[in-house]
Amino acid sequence: MSRSSPSLDTLFTWVRTESPTSDRAGVNLMMDLVVAQMQDAPVAVERIPGTDGLGDVLVLRAGPQTGEPGILVMSHLDTVHPVGTVERDLPLRVEGDRLYGPGIYDMKGGAWFCLEAFKDVARRGTAARPITFLVTPDEEIGSPITRPMIEDIGRRSAFALVTEPARDGGQIVTARKGVGRFDVHVEGRPAHAGSRHKDGRNAVYEAARQILAVEGMTDYARGITTTVGMVSGGTAVNTIPQHCRFPVDLRVETVADGEAVTAALLGLKPQNPDFIVTVTGGMNRPPYERTEPTSRLFDHAKSLAAEIGFDLVSAPRAGGGSDGNFTAALGIPTLDGLGIDGDGAHTLQEYGLISSIAPRQKLMTRLLESLR
Ligand SMILES: [Zn+2]
Protein backbone atom coordinates (compact mmCIF):
# COMPACT_ATOMS: atom_id res chain seq x y z
CA MET A 1 0.00 0.00 0.00
CA SER A 2 1.59 3.27 -1.03
CA ARG A 3 1.18 6.87 0.01
CA SER A 4 -0.95 7.58 -3.04
CA SER A 5 -3.24 4.58 -2.82
CA PRO A 6 -6.84 5.79 -2.89
CA SER A 7 -7.81 3.74 0.15
CA LEU A 8 -5.13 5.31 2.32
CA ASP A 9 -6.45 8.71 1.19
CA THR A 10 -9.74 7.74 2.84
CA LEU A 11 -7.89 7.08 6.08
CA PHE A 12 -6.25 10.53 5.81
CA THR A 13 -9.73 12.05 5.57
CA TRP A 14 -10.73 10.14 8.70
CA VAL A 15 -7.78 11.51 10.66
CA ARG A 16 -8.39 15.08 9.42
CA THR A 17 -11.99 14.75 10.63
CA GLU A 18 -11.30 15.52 14.28
CA SER A 19 -13.66 13.82 16.70
CA PRO A 20 -13.01 14.31 20.40
CA THR A 21 -15.73 12.59 22.44
CA SER A 22 -17.29 15.88 23.54
CA ASP A 23 -17.58 17.21 19.96
CA ARG A 24 -20.85 15.71 18.82
CA ALA A 25 -20.66 17.29 15.35
CA GLY A 26 -17.16 15.95 14.73
CA VAL A 27 -18.04 12.45 15.91
CA ASN A 28 -21.15 12.48 13.73
CA LEU A 29 -19.07 13.47 10.69
CA MET A 30 -17.06 10.30 11.37
CA MET A 31 -20.29 8.30 11.48
CA ASP A 32 -21.26 9.87 8.12
CA LEU A 33 -17.96 8.65 6.67
CA VAL A 34 -18.68 5.09 7.85
CA VAL A 35 -22.19 5.19 6.38
CA ALA A 36 -20.63 6.32 3.08
CA GLN A 37 -18.05 3.54 3.31
CA MET A 38 -20.84 0.94 3.59
CA GLN A 39 -22.75 2.24 0.58
CA ASP A 40 -23.19 -0.38 -2.16
CA ALA A 41 -22.39 -3.19 0.29
CA PRO A 42 -25.03 -5.66 1.53
CA VAL A 43 -24.88 -4.18 5.03
CA ALA A 44 -27.90 -3.12 7.10
CA VAL A 45 -27.10 0.25 8.66
CA GLU A 46 -28.93 1.34 11.81
CA ARG A 47 -28.07 4.80 13.14
CA ILE A 48 -29.07 5.50 16.73
CA PRO A 49 -29.00 9.16 17.77
CA GLY A 50 -26.59 9.89 20.59
CA THR A 51 -27.87 11.15 23.92
CA ASP A 52 -26.28 13.29 26.66
CA GLY A 53 -24.61 15.50 24.04
CA LEU A 54 -22.67 12.57 22.56
CA GLY A 55 -22.47 11.46 18.94
CA ASP A 56 -24.54 8.80 17.19
CA VAL A 57 -24.03 5.04 17.34
CA LEU A 58 -23.93 2.81 14.27
CA VAL A 59 -25.07 -0.80 14.31
CA LEU A 60 -24.01 -2.50 11.07
CA ARG A 61 -25.24 -5.99 10.29
CA ALA A 62 -24.22 -8.47 7.61
CA GLY A 63 -23.77 -12.17 7.01
CA PRO A 64 -26.19 -15.08 7.23
CA GLN A 65 -29.37 -14.13 9.08
CA THR A 66 -29.70 -17.49 10.79
CA GLY A 67 -30.49 -16.30 14.29
CA GLU A 68 -27.51 -18.18 15.74
CA PRO A 69 -25.15 -16.28 18.08
CA GLY A 70 -23.00 -14.02 15.96
CA ILE A 71 -19.67 -12.20 15.91
CA LEU A 72 -19.61 -8.77 17.54
CA VAL A 73 -16.93 -6.36 16.29
CA MET A 74 -16.42 -3.10 18.18
CA SER A 75 -14.72 0.13 17.15
CA HIS A 76 -14.88 3.59 18.68
CA LEU A 77 -14.43 6.72 16.60
CA ASP A 78 -14.07 9.27 19.36
CA THR A 79 -10.55 10.40 20.31
CA VAL A 80 -8.96 12.22 23.24
CA HIS A 81 -7.50 14.99 21.06
CA PRO A 82 -9.19 18.41 21.09
CA VAL A 83 -10.18 20.07 17.82
CA GLY A 84 -7.20 21.91 16.34
CA THR A 85 -4.65 19.22 17.22
CA VAL A 86 -4.22 18.18 13.59
CA GLU A 87 -3.50 21.80 12.59
CA ARG A 88 -1.16 22.69 15.44
CA ASP A 89 0.37 19.92 17.47
CA LEU A 90 0.07 16.64 15.58
CA PRO A 91 -0.08 17.33 11.83
CA LEU A 92 -1.09 14.48 9.56
CA ARG A 93 2.10 13.26 7.91
CA VAL A 94 3.91 10.17 6.67
CA GLU A 95 7.48 9.54 7.79
CA GLY A 96 8.74 6.28 6.34
CA ASP A 97 6.31 3.61 7.53
CA ARG A 98 4.80 5.86 10.19
CA LEU A 99 1.53 7.66 9.66
CA TYR A 100 1.17 10.42 12.27
CA GLY A 101 -2.10 12.08 13.25
CA PRO A 102 -4.60 12.43 16.09
CA GLY A 103 -6.49 9.20 16.67
CA ILE A 104 -4.70 7.25 13.91
CA TYR A 105 -3.49 4.64 16.39
CA ASP A 106 -6.34 4.85 18.94
CA MET A 107 -8.24 3.80 16.93
CA LYS A 108 -9.16 5.19 13.53
CA GLY A 109 -6.58 3.07 11.72
CA GLY A 110 -7.90 -0.21 13.10
CA ALA A 111 -11.55 0.84 12.82
CA TRP A 112 -11.08 1.77 9.20
CA PHE A 113 -9.37 -1.38 7.95
CA CYS A 114 -11.58 -3.69 10.02
CA LEU A 115 -14.65 -2.01 8.50
CA GLU A 116 -13.05 -2.61 5.10
CA ALA A 117 -12.61 -6.30 6.00
CA PHE A 118 -16.24 -6.47 7.18
CA LYS A 119 -17.48 -4.87 3.95
CA ASP A 120 -15.45 -7.29 1.80
CA VAL A 121 -16.77 -10.32 3.69
CA ALA A 122 -20.34 -8.97 3.37
CA ARG A 123 -19.89 -8.47 -0.38
CA ARG A 124 -18.47 -11.91 -0.96
CA GLY A 125 -21.09 -13.54 1.26
CA THR A 126 -18.40 -15.49 3.12
CA ALA A 127 -19.26 -14.64 6.74
CA ALA A 128 -19.15 -17.66 9.04
CA ARG A 129 -21.93 -16.30 11.27
CA PRO A 130 -24.13 -13.23 11.53
CA ILE A 131 -21.86 -10.23 12.11
CA THR A 132 -22.76 -7.10 14.08
CA PHE A 133 -20.28 -4.25 13.79
CA LEU A 134 -20.85 -1.66 16.51
CA VAL A 135 -19.29 1.77 15.90
CA THR A 136 -19.37 3.91 19.04
CA PRO A 137 -18.93 7.61 20.01
CA ASP A 138 -18.06 7.40 23.71
CA GLU A 139 -15.34 4.83 24.50
CA GLU A 140 -12.78 7.37 25.67
CA ILE A 141 -15.03 8.46 28.54
CA GLY A 142 -15.96 4.91 29.63
CA SER A 143 -18.84 4.19 27.17
CA PRO A 144 -21.68 5.64 29.28
CA ILE A 145 -24.32 5.46 26.54
CA THR A 146 -23.17 2.39 24.62
CA ARG A 147 -22.42 0.01 27.48
CA PRO A 148 -26.03 -1.30 27.61
CA MET A 149 -25.96 -1.89 23.83
CA ILE A 150 -22.58 -3.62 24.02
CA GLU A 151 -23.84 -5.91 26.78
CA ASP A 152 -27.15 -6.57 25.03
CA ILE A 153 -25.56 -7.53 21.69
CA GLY A 154 -22.71 -9.23 23.55
CA ARG A 155 -25.09 -11.62 25.31
CA ARG A 156 -26.33 -12.77 21.90
CA SER A 157 -22.83 -13.18 20.47
CA ALA A 158 -20.48 -16.15 20.30
CA PHE A 159 -17.33 -14.02 19.94
CA ALA A 160 -16.27 -10.41 20.42
CA LEU A 161 -13.48 -8.76 18.43
CA VAL A 162 -12.17 -5.31 19.38
CA THR A 163 -10.16 -3.12 17.02
CA GLU A 164 -8.19 -1.23 19.67
CA PRO A 165 -4.55 -0.70 18.68
CA ALA A 166 -1.98 -3.48 18.78
CA ARG A 167 0.81 -3.44 21.36
CA ASP A 168 4.56 -3.23 20.75
CA GLY A 169 5.31 -5.24 17.64
CA GLY A 170 1.71 -6.11 16.77
CA GLN A 171 0.77 -8.00 19.94
CA ILE A 172 -2.90 -8.50 20.67
CA VAL A 173 -4.72 -8.30 23.95
CA THR A 174 -6.41 -11.18 25.79
CA ALA A 175 -6.62 -9.66 29.28
CA ARG A 176 -7.04 -6.18 30.64
CA LYS A 177 -7.26 -4.71 34.08
CA GLY A 178 -10.61 -3.52 35.37
CA VAL A 179 -11.03 0.20 35.92
CA GLY A 180 -12.82 2.00 38.73
CA ARG A 181 -13.49 5.72 39.14
CA PHE A 182 -14.33 7.45 42.39
CA ASP A 183 -14.80 10.99 43.66
CA VAL A 184 -13.90 11.92 47.21
CA HIS A 185 -15.29 15.07 48.82
CA VAL A 186 -13.99 16.26 52.17
CA GLU A 187 -15.87 18.94 54.06
CA GLY A 188 -14.39 20.79 57.03
CA ARG A 189 -15.13 24.17 58.58
CA PRO A 190 -13.96 27.50 57.14
CA ALA A 191 -12.23 30.15 59.26
CA HIS A 192 -9.90 33.12 58.94
CA ALA A 193 -6.35 31.78 58.84
CA GLY A 194 -5.11 34.61 61.08
CA SER A 195 -7.73 35.50 63.66
CA ARG A 196 -9.75 32.24 63.95
CA HIS A 197 -7.25 29.52 63.10
CA LYS A 198 -8.30 27.30 66.00
CA ASP A 199 -11.94 27.31 64.87
CA GLY A 200 -11.17 26.05 61.39
CA ARG A 201 -11.19 22.44 60.22
CA ASN A 202 -8.92 22.32 57.19
CA ALA A 203 -10.48 20.15 54.48
CA VAL A 204 -7.24 20.12 52.48
CA TYR A 205 -5.36 18.77 55.50
CA GLU A 206 -7.94 16.02 56.01
CA ALA A 207 -7.90 15.24 52.28
CA ALA A 208 -4.12 14.83 52.50
CA ARG A 209 -4.60 12.13 55.16
CA GLN A 210 -7.26 10.44 53.02
CA ILE A 211 -4.96 10.52 49.98
CA LEU A 212 -2.26 8.71 51.94
CA ALA A 213 -4.82 6.04 52.82
CA VAL A 214 -6.01 5.75 49.21
CA GLU A 215 -2.51 5.54 47.74
CA GLY A 216 -1.69 2.95 50.40
CA MET A 217 -4.23 0.58 48.82
CA THR A 218 -1.84 0.05 45.88
CA ASP A 219 -0.51 -3.52 45.86
CA TYR A 220 1.75 -4.23 42.90
CA ALA A 221 2.01 -7.93 43.75
CA ARG A 222 -1.75 -8.29 43.23
CA GLY A 223 -1.85 -5.86 40.33
CA ILE A 224 -3.89 -3.30 42.26
CA THR A 225 -3.17 0.40 41.74
CA THR A 226 -4.89 3.46 43.15
CA THR A 227 -4.01 6.91 41.84
CA VAL A 228 -5.01 10.37 42.99
CA GLY A 229 -4.20 12.37 39.87
CA MET A 230 -5.83 15.70 40.72
CA VAL A 231 -6.75 17.65 43.84
CA SER A 232 -8.84 20.77 44.22
CA GLY A 233 -9.67 22.62 47.40
CA GLY A 234 -9.67 25.92 49.16
CA THR A 235 -10.72 29.42 48.11
CA ALA A 236 -7.99 31.77 49.31
CA VAL A 237 -4.48 31.60 50.73
CA ASN A 238 -5.57 33.10 54.06
CA THR A 239 -8.73 31.04 54.55
CA ILE A 240 -8.93 27.63 56.17
CA PRO A 241 -10.64 25.62 53.43
CA GLN A 242 -14.09 24.17 53.88
CA HIS A 243 -13.96 21.86 50.84
CA CYS A 244 -11.49 19.60 49.10
CA ARG A 245 -12.16 17.14 46.30
CA PHE A 246 -10.10 14.54 44.47
CA PRO A 247 -10.85 11.73 42.02
CA VAL A 248 -9.39 8.22 42.36
CA ASP A 249 -8.39 5.95 39.49
CA LEU A 250 -8.44 2.25 40.45
CA ARG A 251 -7.04 -0.67 38.39
CA VAL A 252 -7.49 -4.32 39.38
CA GLU A 253 -6.85 -7.73 37.82
CA THR A 254 -9.73 -9.68 39.35
CA VAL A 255 -13.41 -9.14 40.06
CA ALA A 256 -12.82 -10.01 43.72
CA ASP A 257 -10.13 -7.34 44.11
CA GLY A 258 -12.42 -4.83 42.40
CA GLU A 259 -15.13 -5.51 44.96
CA ALA A 260 -12.73 -5.42 47.93
CA VAL A 261 -11.04 -2.14 47.01
CA THR A 262 -14.38 -0.56 46.05
CA ALA A 263 -15.69 -1.38 49.52
CA ALA A 264 -12.56 0.07 51.12
CA LEU A 265 -12.82 3.30 49.12
CA LEU A 266 -16.55 3.75 49.74
CA GLY A 267 -15.86 3.11 53.43
CA LEU A 268 -13.26 5.89 53.89
CA LYS A 269 -13.87 7.59 57.22
CA PRO A 270 -12.67 10.96 58.49
CA GLN A 271 -9.98 10.73 61.16
CA ASN A 272 -11.92 13.29 63.18
CA PRO A 273 -15.72 13.69 63.51
CA ASP A 274 -15.47 17.39 62.64
CA PHE A 275 -14.95 16.39 59.02
CA ILE A 276 -17.36 14.79 56.55
CA VAL A 277 -15.92 12.45 53.93
CA THR A 278 -18.24 11.46 51.07
CA VAL A 279 -17.16 8.94 48.42
CA THR A 280 -19.08 8.18 45.22
CA GLY A 281 -18.26 5.97 42.25
CA GLY A 282 -17.49 2.35 41.55
CA MET A 283 -16.03 -0.04 38.99
CA ASN A 284 -16.47 1.40 35.51
CA ARG A 285 -15.05 -1.49 33.51
CA PRO A 286 -14.84 -4.96 35.02
CA PRO A 287 -11.54 -6.85 34.65
CA TYR A 288 -11.10 -8.74 31.38
CA GLU A 289 -9.66 -12.02 32.61
CA ARG A 290 -8.22 -14.48 30.12
CA THR A 291 -10.47 -17.55 30.08
CA GLU A 292 -10.15 -20.95 28.38
CA PRO A 293 -12.52 -19.98 25.52
CA THR A 294 -10.58 -16.74 24.98
CA SER A 295 -7.34 -18.76 24.89
CA ARG A 296 -8.85 -21.03 22.24
CA LEU A 297 -9.96 -17.99 20.24
CA PHE A 298 -6.44 -16.59 20.50
CA ASP A 299 -4.92 -19.90 19.31
CA HIS A 300 -7.25 -19.86 16.31
CA ALA A 301 -6.26 -16.28 15.44
CA LYS A 302 -2.59 -17.21 15.83
CA SER A 303 -2.94 -20.04 13.32
CA LEU A 304 -4.70 -17.70 10.86
CA ALA A 305 -1.90 -15.15 11.26
CA ALA A 306 0.68 -17.87 10.57
CA GLU A 307 -1.12 -18.71 7.30
CA ILE A 308 -1.06 -15.01 6.39
CA GLY A 309 2.64 -14.86 7.25
CA PHE A 310 3.07 -13.22 10.63
CA ASP A 311 3.48 -14.30 14.20
CA LEU A 312 0.64 -13.25 16.48
CA VAL A 313 1.70 -12.80 20.10
CA SER A 314 -0.48 -12.07 23.10
CA ALA A 315 0.65 -9.05 25.11
CA PRO A 316 1.02 -9.10 28.88
CA ARG A 317 -2.18 -7.97 30.62
CA ALA A 318 -2.95 -4.41 29.52
CA GLY A 319 -3.48 -1.72 32.15
CA GLY A 320 -6.02 0.26 30.16
CA GLY A 321 -9.67 -0.75 29.86
CA SER A 322 -11.67 -1.06 26.66
CA ASP A 323 -15.14 -2.11 25.55
CA GLY A 324 -13.74 -5.65 25.43
CA ASN A 325 -13.88 -5.63 29.23
CA PHE A 326 -17.70 -5.60 29.04
CA THR A 327 -18.02 -8.62 26.74
CA ALA A 328 -15.25 -10.57 28.50
CA ALA A 329 -17.02 -10.01 31.84
CA LEU A 330 -20.13 -11.62 30.32
CA GLY A 331 -18.06 -14.71 29.48
CA ILE A 332 -17.91 -14.00 25.73
CA PRO A 333 -14.55 -15.09 24.24
CA THR A 334 -12.98 -11.73 23.42
CA LEU A 335 -9.93 -10.72 21.39
CA ASP A 336 -8.71 -7.14 21.60
CA GLY A 337 -5.85 -5.18 20.09
CA LEU A 338 -6.75 -6.31 16.56
CA GLY A 339 -6.28 -2.77 15.23
CA ILE A 340 -3.28 -1.00 13.74
CA ASP A 341 0.23 -1.37 15.14
CA GLY A 342 2.07 1.78 16.21
CA ASP A 343 2.53 3.77 19.38
CA GLY A 344 1.81 7.00 21.25
CA ALA A 345 -1.87 6.60 22.13
CA HIS A 346 -3.27 9.78 23.75
CA THR A 347 -0.03 11.72 23.04
CA LEU A 348 1.19 14.17 20.42
CA GLN A 349 3.55 11.48 19.10
CA GLU A 350 0.72 9.18 18.02
CA TYR A 351 1.37 7.14 14.88
CA GLY A 352 0.27 3.98 13.11
CA LEU A 353 2.49 1.68 11.04
CA ILE A 354 1.26 1.60 7.45
CA SER A 355 2.84 -1.81 6.85
CA SER A 356 0.71 -3.33 9.62
CA ILE A 357 -2.57 -2.55 7.83
CA ALA A 358 -2.59 -5.16 5.06
CA PRO A 359 -1.75 -8.27 7.13
CA ARG A 360 -4.05 -7.28 9.99
CA GLN A 361 -6.91 -6.47 7.63
CA LYS A 362 -6.42 -9.96 6.23
CA LEU A 363 -6.50 -11.40 9.76
CA MET A 364 -9.82 -9.67 10.50
CA THR A 365 -11.21 -10.96 7.18
CA ARG A 366 -10.20 -14.52 7.98
CA LEU A 367 -11.60 -14.31 11.53
CA LEU A 368 -14.98 -13.17 10.18
CA GLU A 369 -14.93 -16.03 7.67
CA SER A 370 -13.78 -18.80 9.98
CA LEU A 371 -15.17 -18.29 13.51
CA ARG A 372 -17.49 -21.30 13.61
ZN1 LIG B 1 -9.19 3.26 22.05
| pLDDT given at position 278 | 98
Ligand 1 centroid to Cα of residue 106, in Å, is: 5
Ligand 1 centroid to Cα of residue 199, in Å, is: 49
* Secondary structure element (H or E) that encloses residue 240, with its range: strand 239-240
Q: For residue range 130-149, what is the model confidence (pLDDT) as tens digits? A: 999 999 999 999 999 999 99
User: Helix %, strand %, coil % for the chain, to 5?
Assistant: 35, 25, 40
Judged against a pLDDT cut of 70, whether residue 347 lies above it is answered with yes
Confidence of residue 4 (pLDDT cuts 50, 70, 90): very low
Give the contacts of 72 (CB within 8 A, at least 6 positions apart). Answer: 132, 134, 150, 153, 154, 157, 159, 160, 161, 327, 332
Ligand 1 centroid to Cα of residue 10, in Å, is: 20
Confidence of residue 6 (pLDDT cuts 50, 70, 90): low
**8 A C-beta contact, residue 146 and residue 138:** yes
Q: Please state, rounded to an integer, the average pLDDT across all residues of the chain.
A: 95
Q: Which of 288, 336, 345, 343 is nearest to 312 (CA)?
A: 336
| pLDDT given at position 1 | 44
| pLDDT given at position 321 | 86
| pLDDT given at position 153 | 98
Is 350 an active-site residue? no
Portion of the chain with pLDDT greater than 90, in percent = 93
Judged against a pLDDT cut of 90, whether residue 316 lies above it is answered with no
Judged against a pLDDT cut of 80, whether residue 3 lies above it is answered with no
Distance CA 109, CA 361 (A): 10
User: What is the mean predicted confidence (pLDDT) over 95-101?
Assistant: 97
| pLDDT given at position 341 | 97
Annotated catalytic residue, options 18, 23, 139, 140: 139
User: What is the mean predicted confidence (pLDDT) over 4-20?
Assistant: 88
| pLDDT given at position 169 | 86
Distance CA 184, CA 202 (A): 15
Does this model's pTM top 0.85? My answer is yes
Ligand 1 centroid to Cα of residue 300, in Å, is: 24
DSSP code string of 192-214? ETTTSGGG-B-HHHHHHHHHHHH
Q: Which of 20, 59, 32 is nearest to 149 (CA)?
A: 59
| pLDDT given at position 180 | 96
Ligand 1 centroid to Cα of residue 50, in Å, is: 19
User: What is the mean predicted confidence (pLDDT) over 98-109?
Assistant: 98
Is 78 an active-site residue? yes
Confidence of residue 319 (pLDDT cuts 50, 70, 90): confident
Judged against a pLDDT cut of 80, whether residue 2 lies above it is answered with no
Q: For residue range 57-97, what is the model confidence (pLDDT) as tens digits? A: 999 999 998 889 999 999 999 999 999 999 999 999 999 99
Confidence of residue 317 (pLDDT cuts 50, 70, 90): confident
Confidence of residue 5 (pLDDT cuts 50, 70, 90): low
Ligand 1 centroid to Cα of residue 209, in Å, is: 35
Ligand 1 centroid to Cα of residue 32, in Å, is: 20
Ligand 1 centroid to Cα of residue 76, in Å, is: 7
Q: For residue range 263-279, what is the model confidence (pLDDT) as tens digits? A: 999 999 999 999 999 99
DSSP summary character for residue 349:
T
Q: Which of 35, 18, 170 is nearest to 80 (CA)?
A: 18
Distance CA 47, CA 30 (A): 12
- The full set of domains in the chain, from first to last, is 8-176+288-369 (3.40.630.10), 178-285 (3.30.70.360)
Annotated catalytic residue, options 78, 257, 336, 369: 78
Ligand 1 centroid to Cα of residue 114, in Å, is: 14
Ligand 1 centroid to Cα of residue 271, in Å, is: 40
Q: For residue range 210-254, what is the model confidence (pLDDT) as tens digits? A: 999 999 999 999 999 999 999 999 999 999 999 999 999 999 999
Distance CA 336, CA 327 (A): 11
| pLDDT given at position 69 | 97
End-to-end CA distance of the chain: 31
Confidence of residue 185 (pLDDT cuts 50, 70, 90): very high
The protein residues having their C-beta less than 5 angstroms from ligand 1 (an ion) are 106-107, 164
335 strand-pairing partners: 161
| pLDDT given at position 318 | 79
Distance CA 136, CA 123 (A): 23
